[in-house]
Amino acid sequence: MTDGMIVRIEGREFVMERVFQAPRDKVFAAFTQCEHLKHWWGPRGWALTACTLDFRPEGVWHYCMTCQDKNQGDFFGMDSWGKGIYREIDAPHSFVYTDYFSDAEGSINEDLPPSDTTLVFEEFEGGTKLVSRTLYDSEESLKTVVEMGMEHGIRETWDRLEEYLSER
C-alpha cells in the first residue's frame, strides 16, 4: 500500500504533498501544538522528548527527538535537536518557518544547512491536502539533507501523523 505522498526536487526546493483523511483544522493543530506533536513527530522509533512552542510570527519551536528503538543500532539513545522560527502564519491555511539543527540550549548548528519551509493546508475531498515546500540556500545543502535520509524520515513521520489523526 502506498502512502500517496508525492515527492519532487525543484532546484533548491524539496516538495512533498500528501492527503490526510482529517479536517484541515485538525491537521493544522497537529503541527502547531506540542500536545499533538508529541504523539507523532519524528520517524518510527523516535520520540519527541522535549517540546516548547510559541506559535506566532518570530516565535520559536524548540524540540528534541530521541531514538528509543534498540534495533536502530548506533542511533539508539541519540538526541536530535531542532529549532524552528516562525516567519508567517495564516491559520489554518499555512505557515512559514525557518528550520535549524540546534542543541539543547537552542544554539544553531552552523555545520548543517537551515531551510525555509512553507506548509499549506488545503481542504480536499473531505480531507486535507498538505503541501510542504522546503527551500535550501543551495542545491548542495539540499543534497546533504537528502543523503542524511530526510525523505525516508519525513515519510515515516507523516505515516505516524496519519495514524494519530485516525485515532483522534
| Conformation bin of residue 126: beta by default, left when phi > 0, alpha when psi is -120 to 50 | left
Cell of 35: 500536545
Q: What is the largest CA-CA distance in the chain?
A: 42
Considering the entire predicted model, what is its pTM? 0.93
- How do the pLDDT tens digits run along the chain, 168 residues long? 357 899 999 999 999 999 999 999 999 999 999 999 999 999 999 999 999 999 999 999 999 999 999 999 999 999 999 999 999 999 999 999 999 999 999 999 998 889 999 999 999 999 999 999 999 999 999 998 899 888 899 999 999 999 999 997
| pLDDT given at position 168 | 78
Q: Name which of 61, 51, 57 is nearest 90 in CA terms.
A: 57
Cβ 130 vs Cβ 121: under 8 Å: yes
Does the domain at 6-118+144-167 match CATH 3.30.530.20? Answer given as yes
